């Protein structure tokens, strides 16, 4: 077998990082090419016969497998809209609990742009575009685009369905792009279960809420939000990060590259809004305004001013 980086270079580019080559340690690798693949082809360890749709690869995969997705053949933009990939039927993508440690990675032809593989919900479905019930999964180098009709659940969500279980546990989101999520009922990315979820090095653009920790179940523990960029017109944004009941949350090294949120019918209008009892650290973030407002239900009060917009101040979140 050809070494992994060479194979992927032929398939459409090398992935952002190389720590996800689980398939070269005994698990399987699936190749998905929306433009050139065919339904019914295996795509398993065979880039010359890729599958067409992500849902087929998820159905065929087992725990610990890796799915590589190739960019669209015609990678072009219509204004702010990239060439997107949508589900083939009226059901969005779901990673069920047996598929623990599954990785879904977009490949790029150069520059590492996260727009090469952009996923969008099927028509007017109100479910999350990509839902995880499995544990310890990873998505990397993928783009996601919201649609106006998608009114709940978020674009990507890790979720448990039964309290006390570990469904949707420990999802890692790395170098992804989330754009234009307009619903007030969730965030573009929702960590809606358990512990140890993390969002790293990703971009959020024109989202009503960028990241929401605990939309239904709350009790989100050990989340890490590190090195992300939040952009967009202030009138599109109600809050970049909303935190429910949470402990040991780390929000570190992020860039909030817009003025204070000013969504016309918003109820939060903060960069970071705590809606529950939370503990953790907010540190070394950059805010585009000199006085960065963080709304919180913690003992810090209703607002915390981080006076230095370069982010050298540290805000401690303490339980109320």
DSSP track, 153-203 = S-SEEEE-SSTTS-TT-S-EEES-EEE----SSS-SEEEESSB--EEES-E
3-state secondary structure 97-124: CCCCCCEEEECCCCCCCCCCCEEECCCC
What pLDDT does residue 273 have?
85
The three-state secondary structure class of 74 is coil
d(CA 199, CA 187): 13
What pLDDT does residue 114 have?
54
Cα-Cα-Cα-Cα dihedral sign, residues 54, 17, 108, 29: negative
What pLDDT does residue 12 have?
57
Closest-CA residue to 195 (of 176, 168, 175): 168
Evaluate whether 279 touches 318 at the Cβ level (below 8 Å). Answer: yes
What pLDDT does residue 238 have?
92
First to last CA, the chain: 57
Would you write out the chain's pLDDT as a tens digit for each of its 320 residues?
Answer: 334 444 455 565 544 444 444 455 668 899 999 989 998 888 888 888 999 999 999 999 999 999 999 988 765 555 555 688 999 888 999 999 889 999 999 987 554 455 578 999 988 788 899 999 999 999 999 999 988 766 678 999 998 766 666 778 899 999 999 999 988 888 999 998 768 999 999 999 999 999 998 866 666 888 999 999 999 999 999 999 988 877 788 888 899 998 888 998 888 888 888 877 777 788 778 888 755 556 544 433 333 434 334 444 445 554 43
Evaluate whether 176 touches 143 at the Cβ level (below 8 Å). Answer: yes
In whole angstroms, what separates CA 208 from the centre of its chain? 15
What pLDDT does residue 295 have?
59
- 32 beta partners: 51, 69
Predicted model pTM: 0.86
What pLDDT does residue 160 have?
78
């Amino acid at each position: 077998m050809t070494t992994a980086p060479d194979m992927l270079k032929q398939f459409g580019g090398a992935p952002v990082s190389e720590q996800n080559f689980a398939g070269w340690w005994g698990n399987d690798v699936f190749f998905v090419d929306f433009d050139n693949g065919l339904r019914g082809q295996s795509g398993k360890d065979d880039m010359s016969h890729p599958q067409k749709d992500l849902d087929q690869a998820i159905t065929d995969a087992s725990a610990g497998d890796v799915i590589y997705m190739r960019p669209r053949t015609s990678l072009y933009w219509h204004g702010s809209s990239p060439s997107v990939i949508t589900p083939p039927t009226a059901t969005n993508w779901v990673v069920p609990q047996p598929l623990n440690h599954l990785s879904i990675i977009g490949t790029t032809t150069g520059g590492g742009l996260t727009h090469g593989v952009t996923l969008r919900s099927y028509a007017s479905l109100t479910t999350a575009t990509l839902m995880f019930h499995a544990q310890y999964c990873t998505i990397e180098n993928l783009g996601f685009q919201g649609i106006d009709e998608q009114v709940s659940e978020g674009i990507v969500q890790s979720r448990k369905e039964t309290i006390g279980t570990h469904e949707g546990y420990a999802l890692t989101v790395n170098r992804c792009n989330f754009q234009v999520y307009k619903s007030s009922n969730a965030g573009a990315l929702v960590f809606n279960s358990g512990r140890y979820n993390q969002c790293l090095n990703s971009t959020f653009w024109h989202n009503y809420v960028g990241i929401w920790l605990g939309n239904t179940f709350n009790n989100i523990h050990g989340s890490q939000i590190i090195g992300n960029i939040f952009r967009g017109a202030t009138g599109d944004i109600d809050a970049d990060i909303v935190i429910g009941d949470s402990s040991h949350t780390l929000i570190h090294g992020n860039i909030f590259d817009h003025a204070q949120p000013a969504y016309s019918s918003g109820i939060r209008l903060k960069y970071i809004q705590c809606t529950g009892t939370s503990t953790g650290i907010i540190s070394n973030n950059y805010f585009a305004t000199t006085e960065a407002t963080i709304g919180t239900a913690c003992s810090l009060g209703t607002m915390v001013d981080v006076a230095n917009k370069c982010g050298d101040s540290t805000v401690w979140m303490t339980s109320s």
